[in-house]
Structure 1
């Protein structure tokens, strides 16, 4: 087989007449913001139902979803939030922008999810939240994290930006007893270009978040009686209409990705030097936001060259996240009283994964089964050339 022939990956984002019909529906209803229209309300009900949550609140983006959730959890100046060191920077910046200190901890070398023992060791009297990130749609160890939360009294905030419709031992994300935040950014599993949502297990914090996301103003207020300090994080009606259409095909796409990962993962594992991400088997419906693999022992420069070879061969490949403490942004505000090297010393798995990991966009897993074989052949040739 000619490995120089690019597999037939579908484009992303995907759309059809459902998105067009939704946009026209939003346009013609005559009210284009959530307080007068119906698209955002309808989307919130549908998203909450899919995830088994009593309440969902749509917001402007996934970063704002995390920030709003942390705020209603009491995070602010003088508090700390435990975050995985291997994640997108929004996980830490959401806490830091509230004036809190983000405390990075190491991750598991196989799942790339937060190391629960490391999280336990990082909890102090100032800790107000522990934030597991469900990396690539494989859920963190929610059993052990629930035990940690119960033991310490520190609540969990699930960063579920990669985990739309995923389940843990049969339970949906909204049935796990903690707040969860989602992203609808352009590359995510469902998208309106930007957007986010927070799901809540209780009415009290949902109502508090609604006020905060709408400038502190109650739904029925007509006299500008703002009750709390807030900001404008409201999602617009056009984005919600698109997201309703995206939501309608989410589960079928996840099923396809699961079938394709079952083919691609062993093919990658058969390549000398390649180790695919291994999810916890208790995640019984991983959403496969990324197809991730490591090449242990490779240098960062060679990993970057590997990504360039894959891209040149037509594979949508990316270098994995940089350890958050290895960025200048992390140290600008809300950083722990440590040096980057001190944090790195207690995060050896994060150091290695940040250096040797590659991820493929989830549209790879929407291609045909034969394309999985072509993809593996291209990866094998690119790794051999390093």
Structure 2
């Protein structure tokens, strides 16, 4: 999900595992590559090779699809692959229940449906997120309330949540942006204190950990995405994790047209439902992808730690902070802030262009969601005006002021998860590219 590059689509405080990589690590000597001009000024590319492609397609994926095809049982109601995947992911995540769904958005929508979120309710969400987080709230005609960003971590500012809570707040939905958990100690505490369920949008964070527990398993429920850019992918697909048996039952019913089985005599429950089922083809692909997934998680984590150690030596480059409770990030994105003052006031757009010329794919990340016309026009939506009234919707617009997020959206830079599947030399060449750009930033401004 590098959603900005595809669709939906850091370590400042490194864990023991990350620190161990850096201990005894030789000082990187950038040598002639750094001394040469940037590629935009005619010099050689710092990274002349390619980063790993995505998704990975090998014999296990081919066999899995053929097996599903030949079974002639292509839907979860008469097949076994989806159920087998749910069991495997449940065991891997430590959750008591796992429900496969048609997308990460579907997973969040199912959670909202099982909680019976609707008109008059409010849901707290971060402003720095993919639009799907917002969409699942609006699809239920509830009111999304944006919470500003902690600029150092790129995550929702947990210290700003409590003042956003009103008597109408029915859900707090933190998003683990980039695969790194938000401040769950604070968020879970606020949920318990105010008796508000926590729905973790962990779509970018499969197998990330907070104090040793997997992201998506600490709140009432957590959503995972398997969209084409995700760390574990079946093209489209998603899952919900929960330890609450009654809630798991409600989610299954909601995603299966209000029934728990395919038996036409099975009663509908509770009052709403739809079809958001995962297919057997997707379940089969996910089972195949899972065979190499744990090793990929470790590989990204180690490369991210090494890249952060290199970036910490470059003035003006600030990797996204990990909170103390993060014991593992999934690193769906490697995110950092670019301070143009350390680059002779060279605009970020030039920095991104120069970095791409060095063979380093990059993105500026999310925009200011709260200021998008798609979002602000909600205040004029006829259904919302009927439910909430013009005064409330105008107040909603005025309250969507998020200054920290405004600044972050002008400084952020993203790398996709596939880059972290590269080699240690790839990480060194990324740092070399930025060193070159910084050294020649004055010339690049004029180019």
Q: TM-score range by the shorter chain?
A: over 0.9
Q: Does 1:366 align with 2:421?
A: yes
What residue is the counterpart of 1:242 in the other structure? Answer: 285
- 1:367 CA drift (Å): 0.6
2-structure distance, mates of 1:252, 1:24: 25
Q: Deviation per CA, 1:331-366, whole angstroms, max 9, x where unpaired?
A: 34369544756523xx22111111110100111111
The answer to whether 1:313 aligns with 2:358 is: yes
- The answer on whether the counterparts of 1:52 and 1:174 sit within 8 Å (CA) in structure 2 is no
User: C-alpha distance in 2, partners of 1:91/1:337?
Assistant: 21
Paired residue total: 384
TM-fit CA distance, 1:177: 4.1
Three-state SS of the structure 1 residue aligned to 2:156 is coil
What is the match of residue 65 of structure 1? 107
Q: Which residue of 2 aligns with 1:343?
A: 400
CA contact (8 A) 1:61 1:194 kept: yes
Deviation at 1:95, TM superposition (A): 0.6
Residues 107 and 238, structure 2, Cα contact 8 Å, conserved in 1? yes
TM-score by length of 2: 0.81
RMSD: 2.2
Q: Indicate the SS of the match to 1:18.
A: helix
Mapped contact 2:203–2:223 kept (Cα < 8 A): yes
2:312 to 269, 277, 280: 269
After TM superposition, the structure 1 stretch with the greater mean CA deviation from structure 2, 42-51 or 3-12, is 3-12
3-state secondary structure, aligned to 1:294: strand
Q: Give the Cα–Cα distance (whole angstroms) in 1 for the partners of residues 331 and 280 of structure 2.
A: 28
Q: After superposition, where does 1:24-173 map in structure 2 within 5 Å?
A: 24-173=66-215
C-alpha contact 1:103 1:336 (8 A) present in aligned 2:
no
Structure 2: distance between partners of 1:336 and 1:18: 52
Equivalent residue, structure 1, for 2:410: 355
Deviation readout 1:305-348 (Å, 9 max, x if unpaired): 4323333332221111112202122234369544756523xx22
Unaligned runs of 5+ in 1: none
Contact 1:326 1:340 in 2 (8 A): no
Q: Report the Cα distance in structure 2 between the residues aligned to 1:361 and 1:26, rounded to whole angstroms.
A: 31
- Is 1:304 the counterpart of 2:349? The answer is yes
Q: Is the 8 A contact 1:4 1:313 kept in 2?
A: yes
Q: Secondary structure at the match of 1:257?
A: helix
Greater C-alpha Rg: 2
Shift of 1:195: 0.8
TM-score (norm 1): 0.93
Which residue of 2 is the match for residue 322 of structure 1? 367
Give the alignment of 1:198-217 within 5 angstroms: 198-217=240-259
Deviation at residue 33 of structure 1 after TM alignment: 0.4
Structure 2 portions without partners, runs of 5+? 1-32, 34-43, 379-383, 385-391
Q: Is the 8 A contact 1:79 1:128 kept in 2?
A: yes
